[in-house]
């Protein structure tokens, strides 16, 4: 599995209709909606805005969504989603903007145009492998907070939760291959730390 790490774009013209495809990274539906709104604002005179997206929810389940944006069913959103699936791409979205050129393309030409421009956008993007992450919970006295914070931020962990009670509890996710090194570093730096792997 991989994800778009640097946005890609492409343009395509078919019988006066102009297609502009953009692929970019996302981690949630709200993040996609924000980016989608900006795209619609940038290309506000366009006729259609079909899209496809796939991302992993925080609980690890895969979320997929597409829209044909009033194009004939199956000519825009679904093919773009299938393109993401076929290339094992997640945590990413494709939006293709179309300016209608006055000539109807027909379903087969429309499908080909959307696939061509979306595929080119993906080829122009950069990708990174999605690393499997595991969850770790740590508990420690307040006096060690600054040191612990430095270690877990340096390792680029995803902080899930921080609780400040009698002691500090931090839940975070870390790439599987870094788990042992971060646990070892935490144990060596903070003798009173409690670590629970989930």
Q: Are residues 122 and 91 in the same domain?
A: yes
Share of the chain above pLDDT 70, in %: 98
Q: Are residues 173 and 84 in the same domain?
A: no
| Domain's final residue, options 129, 144, 179 | 129
The reported pLDDT for the residue numbered 185 is 87
> Which residue range is the domain that position 21 belongs to?
2-129
Tokens standing for 63? Answer: 């979320």
Mean pLDDT of 165-183: 84
| Domain's final residue, options 95, 129, 163 | 129
94, 150, 183 from 188: Cα distances, Å: 45, 14, 9
In contact, 101 and 113? CB cutoff 8 Å: no
User: Rounded distance, CA 139 to CA 151, Å?
Assistant: 14
Q: What CATH number is associated with residue 91?
A: 3.30.230.30
pLDDT in tens, 147-166: 888 888 877 788 888 999 98
| Domain's final residue, options 104, 129, 154 | 129
The reported pLDDT for the residue numbered 9 is 95
Highest mean predicted confidence (pLDDT) among 3-7, 26-30, 49-53: 49-53
How many structural domains is the chain composed of? 2
The reported pLDDT for the residue numbered 59 is 67
The reported pLDDT for the residue numbered 91 is 92
Q: Are residues 119 and 139 in the same domain?
A: no
In contact, 179 and 124? CB cutoff 8 Å: no
Mean pLDDT of 6-23: 94
């Amino acid at each position: 599995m991989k994800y778009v790490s640097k946005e890609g774009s492409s343009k395509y013209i078919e019988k006066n209709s102009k297609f502009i495809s953009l692929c970019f990274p996302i981690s949630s539906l709200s993040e996609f909606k924000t980016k989608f709104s900006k795209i619609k604002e940038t290309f506000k005179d366009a006729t259609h805005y079909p899209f496809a997206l796939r991302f992993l929810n925080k609980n690890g389940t895969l979320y997929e969504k597409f829209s044909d944006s009033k194009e004939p069913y199956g000519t825009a959103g679904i093919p773009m989603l299938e393109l993401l699936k076929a290339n094992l791409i997640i945590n990413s979205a494709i939006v293709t903007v179309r300016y209608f050129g006055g000539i109807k393309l027909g379903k087969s030409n429309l499908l080909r145009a959307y696939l061509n421009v979306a595929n080119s956008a993906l080829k122009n993007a950069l990708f990174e492998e999605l690393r499997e992450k595991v969850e770790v919970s740590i508990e420690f006295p307040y006096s060690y907070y600054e040191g612990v914070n430095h270690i877990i931020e340096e390792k680029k962990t995803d902080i899930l939760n921080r609780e400040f009670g009698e002691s500090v509890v931090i839940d975070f996710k870390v790439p599987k291959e870094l788990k042992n090194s971060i646990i070892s570093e935490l144990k060596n730096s903070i003798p009173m730390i409690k670590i629970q792997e989930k």
